[in-house]
Structure 1
């Protein structure tokens, strides 16, 4: 009754342990799903706010192409454009760039002549001979002509002219004509970018700049110079005509170009995600405004979360399966223990029985006054049979002991390094899901070695990299490279590192580096074991480390080509 009661109590404790384990694993699984969903949600919301820059770059790509490639082409004409040529150019630009709405062309003259209209500084004079305006789907309009006495331009036209020429005058005064202007100088002095407007004055040749610079020399009597042609073009742009390139439709449901005066607070923040980013250059008063419903963004969240959830489910089922295997293995071990216990009992019984028989036979022979021939032969037979039984049992015990204490022999075989490393990485990713292991193999494929010993070295190195790394920074890079007749293994982690004074001792047997990671169990034999294996295989092992940065273990083994 007592034994049965004890067995029943043991069974009840095992059931509680199994139930507790299942509940703990299930709660961990649910928590992992919850946290992964929340992290995915934060990630997608972060993407919603950060990916807008890529949409902006793609959207303003035509504007950048217009500004950097098409506008500078006006300098190729060296100021000798006429209204007909500009008309052809404007039609091409209007067709290529929908955001260009109109274009004003100034035919300018630069000289040291005295002028009544235009801009004059010292002996430098600039005036416009004619001004033409070109609008989309309209005929060219003559706003000003010195020759035909046409004066039909608004004040803004003269403002654009003054702004551009004042920058040019300032540039000419300080320019070094011995040096070719770089792109930044050209952009700063020949471009004028304003609200929805871009002005460009064609870049003169170096010889012309030299002449213009002489116009600012000290006063002296000088003959009138020749007239030098310059062209000024002013483009009026409409940012709302930019073609919006929504390269992330899974994030952005609607994208609009809105003025900064647009009130985004009018959007219901409970049902929408919104963000904005300002347009550059001439469109700086406008922004790209992004808006998506929460239902739309939820699709992207679930698209990313679903594979994660499937992965967690697989891991959860795998853990349960492993737990089942462990539980079954424990049951098998318990049965094996019972078999071993029964074996010892039976063996004891088997020893005791022949010994008892031999003792009884011996006592009978000793106490008998006279034995008949039949009795002598019978006792002899009994003693021989029981002795044979004992001898047979002893032989079995010796054989059993030899099997348990058999020596290990080294067995070399061809190891496929790719398969070897991948199997280890797969195993450790199951064991330590937060452990990031990378490996690379260079100029090596098959390595002739003892797979068991090589596996022991790898597992010790991987376990140390995981154990001596801070949470959230558990990383190991394994690099295998052949150099001539050697195979070099490098294990690089980002762990806590090792102090310089400790490096010479870490390979000693039972030596432990005192730190917080060794307070709860470490006998200090892992690295010593690795060193013994490497030395036995005629190799070398070394280490480089910096506290707080990580460690690099380098193992060199002889490589024999098959």
Structure 2
């Protein structure tokens, strides 16, 4: 029948097992979800981070468009070829994507240009001179219009487009409201593929005069200086700043029609348009799937390590709980066996004493022979009880170190012979022999040493078959140590049990322990040896015998 406590232990072990299975399932599920989360994050980053690369790459262009172009208006139209050369040189050096620049020295006046420009009524916008600048020193500037100029119809087309845009703006201008900077900038700038034309923005008062010039002929026939620049751009000269090189193996600028044939299933690609004057081009991103996988794992591994660490902690807690339950179960069994066996050990002599006492009390006459017999029985059984109690008391005292080690000179031969005599008298069928090598006397505690001998001798007798009850004791002096050996021809100890035999209350499961054993003998021996600052070793072979070796410090 299973005890209530055993049933409780089984329930606890079942709970621990369920806990471990549940934690393991959660662990595997957490790793799976963490990997999927990381994978989706990296895939999302591959899409969203393109805008960051674009922003960093076109940052110089934005600086050119938003900051450098408006500087032209600071000159109020009074730039000449020399000043324009200095300005253009700084632009060409700082912004490599500017391929070349055309500078138009322009006038707005109230009478017509006969050979060039835009003439609408008496409002005219025309060129005085035009110069081409390449990314070379200023002396290489080429005059495109004016005295000794080269013919270039493209120059006139660009100029006329922006001049027409200026006229349209002036015609629609409401002179009662000052236009915003955004309106001015948009109307004095002409953005074409790979080209930006810019006309310096006049003051609002000048714009009012322009408005009058569109409507009528002014008596003063005013003339206003304007500066116009045409910037040809090369998008392939934009420096790509791949600030996410952990995501993108390759980033390049290509036409919007670009569609690589080699981007097969082994690669992940993406693109984003440049916009503005570069609208015919895009940034093209490409990475191998193996490269993306590497990035996924670089993010996933730290998360996985944290999950594994947490899982390890939980498993350690489960192990500690399991171990404690197992230890408690073993301790419970040991305590149960100890109490059972101790009860048996006490019960037997007590029962014998009680029977002997009842026989004496009920007998009308006791002969001298019976009197001696009952006296011997009572004395033997009382001695058993006393020995058991002394062993328990001594074990507790030694374990808690409440007694002191006595040091007396021991004559080893006399000591062994007297011990053998006592045990031979007690067990006549026990064959005890001894040998002594290089040792005559040494200092030790005779009482503790006698207890050690008695326990090992009794143990050898108890665990030896009837036809092999033999024990040989050897005492020798080896390198300033007293070495004692007890070699019997008993049943031996299984190799798996040797590590347990010195534990308190532990008993080997064999036919020799069926009649009860407290399980203190060898544990008591080990405590004795430790208390005497020595060591105890054991080697054994099943059905052949066991040898206990005790090494004690030699004191002369």
Q: Shorter-chain TM-score: what band?
A: 0.5 to 0.7
Structure 1 segment 351-362 matched on structure 2, within 5 A: none
Deviations 1:531-556 (A, max 9, x none): xxxxxxxxxxxxxxxxxxxxxxxxxx
Deviation at 1:203, TM superposition (A): 0.6
- Cα distance in 2 for partners of 1:160, 1:32 equals 64
- Cα distance in 2 for partners of 1:225, 1:333 equals 113
Deviation at 1:109, TM superposition (A): 1.3
Structure 1 segment 190-209 matched on structure 2, within 5 A: 190-209=188-207
The residue aligned with 2:528 is: none
Which one of 267, 286, 292 corresponds to residue 281 of structure 2? 286
1:275 aligns to 2:274 (yes or no): no
Higher relative contact order (CA 8 A, sep 6+): 2
Query: What is the SS of the residue equivalent to 2:227?
Result: strand
1:22 aligns to 2:23 (yes or no): no
Which one of 237, 242, 245 corresponds to residue 241 of structure 2? 245
The residue aligned with 2:82 is: 84
> Which ranges in structure 1 are unaligned for 5 or more consecutive residues?
342-562
Give RMSD over aligned pairs. Answer: 3.0
TM-score after normalising by structure 2: 0.55
- Cα distance in 1 for partners of 2:84, 2:36 equals 59
1:141 aligns to 2:137 (yes or no): no
Deviation at 1:100, TM superposition (A): 0.5
Could you tell me whether the CA contact under 8 Å between 2:188 and 2:201 is conserved in 1?
yes
Query: What is the SS of the residue equivalent to 2:82?
Result: helix
Count of matched residue pairs: 334
The residue aligned with 1:161 is: 159
Which one of 311, 317, 321 corresponds to residue 306 of structure 2? 311
The residue aligned with 1:494 is: none
Query: What is the SS of the residue equivalent to 1:3?
Result: coil
- Cα distance in 1 for partners of 2:51, 2:110 equals 49
The residue aligned with 2:124 is: 125
Deviations 1:374-432 (A, max 9, x none): xxxxxxxxxxxxxxxxxxxxxxxxxxxxxxxxxxxxxxxxxxxxxxxxxxxxxxxxxxx
1:50 aligns to 2:44 (yes or no): no
Deviation at 1:126, TM superposition (A): 0.9
Distance change >3 Å, CA 120–CA 23, structure 1 → 2? same
Deviation at 1:94, TM superposition (A): 0.9
1:321 aligns to 2:311 (yes or no): no
Deviations 1:499-547 (A, max 9, x none): xxxxxxxxxxxxxxxxxxxxxxxxxxxxxxxxxxxxxxxxxxxxxxxxx
Larger Rg: 2
Structure 1 segment 516-555 matched on structure 2, within 5 A: none
Could you tell me whether the CA contact under 8 Å between 1:113 and 1:224 is conserved in 2?
no
Query: What is the SS of the residue equivalent to 1:267?
Result: coil
TM-score after normalising by structure 1: 0.55
Distance change >3 Å, CA 226–CA 7, structure 1 → 2? closer
Deviation at 1:282, TM superposition (A): 1.0
- Cα distance in 2 for partners of 1:206, 1:277 equals 39
Structure 1 segment 31-430 matched on structure 2, within 5 A: 31-116=29-114, 117-137=116-136, 139-145=140-146, 148=147, 150=149, 152-154=151-153, 156-177=154-175, 179-217=177-215, 222-223=218-219, 225-264=221-260, 266-268=262-264, 270-327=265-322
Deviations 1:320-356 (A, max 9, x none): 2233344466679989999xx9xxxxxxxxxxxxxxx
Query: What is the SS of the residue equivalent to 2:214?
Result: coil
Could you tell me whether the CA contact under 8 Å between 2:23 and 2:311 is conserved in 1?
yes
Deviation at 1:174, TM superposition (A): 2.7
